[in-house]
Amino acid sequence: MENQNGHLTGKVAFVTGGSRGMGAAIVKRLAAEGANAIFTHSGNNPEKAALVIAEVEKFGGKGAAIVANNERPEDITRAIRQVVADYGKIDLLINNAGVFSYKSTQESTLGDFDRMIAVNVRAVFVAMQEVAQQMPEGGRIITIGSNVADRVSDGNMGLYGMSKSALIGLNKGMARELGSRNIT
Q: Which residues are catalytic?
A: 160
Length of the chain: 184
The CA-based diameter of the chain, rounded to the nearest angstrom, is 51
Q: Convert the chain into a string of H (helix), E (strand) and C (coil).
A: CCCCCCCCCCCEEEECCCCCHHHHHHHHHHHHCCCEEEEEECCCCHHHHHHHHHHHHHCCCCEEEEECCCCCHHHHHHHHHHHHHHHCCCCEEEECCCCCCCCCCCCCCHHHHHHHHHHHHHHHHHHHHHHHCCCCCCCEEEECCCHHHCCCCCCCCHHHHHHHHHHHHHHHHHHHHHHHHCCC
